[in-house]
Structure 1
Amino acid sequence: MAATDHGTRSAFLREVRSAVTPHAFLLVLGVLGLMIAFITSYAGAFHHPRPTDVPLGVVAPPPAARQLVRQLDRLPGSPLDPRALPSERAARQQLADREIDGALLVDPHGTADRLLVAGGGGASLAQAVEPVVTSAEKSRHRTVRTVDVIPADPGDSRSLSSFYLVVGWCVGGYLCAAILAISAGARPSNGHRAVIRLAALALYAIAAGLAGAIVVGPVLAALPGTFFGLWGLGALVVFAVGATTLACQALLGVLGIGLAILLIVILGNPSAGGAYPYPLLPPFWRAIGPALPPGAGTWAARSVAYFRGHAVTGPLLVLGAWAAGGTVLTLLLSVFRKPGNAADEPAPEERLPAA
């Protein structure tokens, strides 16, 4: 009986080792780590949004303006970054250029002031600034009325369509790249194959950018702005993310998919300024957001949709850097790779039959 039990246990252990290999076990541990990072990143970014150093223009007679700027700058927690502006026209122009996120217009002949906001740049930010300014005005025995001078489109609830559009483009980019690479081994076999995959990715990016622009434009009427501007932005976002994913896979093989998910999904999405624009995010996420594709894409999409393309140069340079860097790294790692890596071998269906 004892021998039978021992044989049963041995058979069971062999089945376990066969079903869950050491390699698979390590991959599962990696997935667990990504899950923990996902929860930490999203909860850390979103659990306590509060305004910090929100750029705010102040239009008032010169002596009062200087005093009010000092008062607003000294509010507990530093929610505002106020600066004096010469006129309402200048305030509206800076709002349109995305240089400020709000403007307080002081009535020199009464006690009823106005707060100009741009809801198209993020409804949550506009709503967060309003109580801060209202409280400060109340302490001065004044009232304030909020005016949304660049409101979100009726089909764009809370100005979130740009963010979800970019998230969709990012998902399409790294999934396409992963499929292109994994279908024939986790790493490109040679320079020619890398070039072909990058070319295929470029064609896919053009189609994906077009599809996204059609859905949020003619189909759903979720975003205003130029159709071709959104199309071009989408193609760049998809290619930047896809090229980055191909580079990660060329560097680390199948583990590169995890690195791409870490960069784009775990770090990039919560720091993109979508649900909560940058001034509402904690310092870490506020710092990395503009440098990652989801953040650069979201900012650019909102600029194209609501701000006539103002303030897109920086985000487009960021996306271009990811696209160029991913392309160059993919090619270099493919051309100068060391031969003999099992991950570089073509899939069985791609092997030519013997002559």
Structure 2
Amino acid sequence: MSAPSDEAPGPPPPASPTSPSPSPGALRRRLTVLVLELTVLVVAMLAAFALPAVNGGPREIPIGVAGPASTAERLEKATADTEWQVTRFDDVEELTTAVQHREIVGGITVTPTGVTLYRAGAAGPQAAAALTALATGAAGRQHAELTVKDLAPFPEGDPRGAGFAAAALPMVFGGIVPAAALARLFPGRPRYRLAGGVLFSLTAGFAVTAVLQYGIGSLSGHYGTTALGLSLGIAALAFTLLGLEAVFGLPGLVVGAALMMLLANPLSGLVTGPHWLPGGWADVGQLLPPGASGSLLRANAFFHGINALGPALVLACWVLLGVTLLLTGGRIRARRAERARRDTAV
């Protein structure tokens, strides 16, 4: 048998420090705050998506009319209490040129042989449907047959524009997801974030356009121009969010992504066209990246780039703002931290 050890047993090891458990009252308060915050988020999402849909309708939609003066006067009287803006044209050629150049969304001509509607279906399916109903009523009052000619239709592979409408969420997520990934993988490295944002925007823009145009058949027009426009839209979102994260940290990224998803996306007018949104909301939506991106995509895909300059400039401004914040965010946060240290020392 081994001799017993002469060494006295040492004191038991100290217990590892643990943070005190929250009290039941604190847990209840935390749960209550969480439930209220989630409820506010759900209500905000509902309001952001439902209000434009419920309150949507014709809002200052420009249309034209060509034909006898008496017919034009009757049409103007029929639309006096609505949100149509009627312009008279001397002949059919002027009216169709205005439709093709996006000066109006459609027009009605009245001749002894009947009533003809010239419309641009790709400008917005709701507006096109409402204009068709208006033309149908005009033809009924004339006891004439209605002929519909679509001067800017959706492609035959997607005549209702379902694929074009479905591009809204990929465009928004195409800016949010890379911004979050680049911010996490390259903290404090703005040049890597800048390079990653440019490469992803170009790759995603050309890939998404290829799927929509050649895979689904939802787009027409020049592929390269459309893809570059979509890449610019993705870059505007991605760099804006990267810039907000560089200056304000994770809260800036989260708040920016929420605003783009819950506010800018419903007000983009991608599905309906901006003329279908409530008054004033469409103007705000077109100044935000999703709205400008949707308008640029519509212009390049269906109207040969007509009216593409405005949304392209809006997106370029967002890209410039985001890149500026991204490259200067580190210095801004450093100065803010130094100021906080000085205030604490004082």
**1:323, distance to aligned residue in structure 2 (A):** 0.7
Tell me which moved more, 176-185 or 219-228.
Answer: 176-185
**1:248, distance to aligned residue in structure 2 (A):** 1.9
Q: 2:226 maps to which residue?
A: 230
1:168-317 correspondence to structure 2 within 5 Å: 168-183=170-185, 189=188, 193-317=189-313
CA RMSD across the alignment: 3.0
What is the CA–CA distance in structure 2 between the aligned matches of 1:28 and 1:243, rounded to whole Å? 32
What is the CA–CA distance in structure 1 between the aligned matches of 2:49 and 2:292, rounded to whole Å? 18
Task: Please report the TM-score for the alignment, with normalisation by the length of structure 1.
Answer: 0.80
Aligned 8 A contact 1:56 1:100 in 2 = yes
Aligned CA distance change for structure 1 residues 116 and 202 (closer, same or farther; 3 Å): same
Tell me which moved more, 306-315 or 156-165.
Answer: 156-165
Code of the aligned partner of 1:114 = T
Aligned CA distance change for structure 1 residues 221 and 130 (closer, same or farther; 3 Å): closer
Q: 2:61 maps to which residue?
A: 54
Aligned 8 A contact 2:274 2:282 in 1 = yes
Task: Please report the TM-score for the alignment, with normalisation by the length of structure 2.
Answer: 0.81
**1:235, distance to aligned residue in structure 2 (A):** 1.5
Q: 1:6 maps to which residue?
A: none
Q: Deviations over 1:305-331 (max 9, x none)?
A: 211111101010111111111111222
Instruction: State the identity as a percent.
Output: 26
Q: 2:156 maps to which residue?
A: 154
**1:156, distance to aligned residue in structure 2 (A):** 2.3
Unaligned runs of at least 5 residues, structure 2: 1-19, 338-346
Aligned 8 A contact 1:248 1:260 in 2 = yes
Structure 1 position 84 matched with structure 2 position 88: yes
Q: 1:43 aligns with which of 46, 50, 54?
A: 50
Aligned CA distance change for structure 1 residues 20 and 310 (closer, same or farther; 3 Å): farther
Code of the aligned partner of 2:153 = P
Q: 1:64 maps to which residue?
A: 70
**1:97, distance to aligned residue in structure 2 (A):** 1.4
**1:252, distance to aligned residue in structure 2 (A):** 2.7
What is the CA–CA distance in structure 2 between the aligned matches of 1:26 and 1:182, rounded to whole Å? 28
What is the CA–CA distance in structure 2 between the aligned matches of 1:135 and 1:52, rounded to whole Å? 20
Aligned 8 A contact 2:168 2:270 in 1 = no
Q: 1:123 aligns with which of 125, 132, 139?
A: 125
What is the CA–CA distance in structure 2 between the aligned matches of 1:28 and 1:183, rounded to whole Å? 31
Aligned CA distance change for structure 1 residues 221 and 146 (closer, same or farther; 3 Å): closer
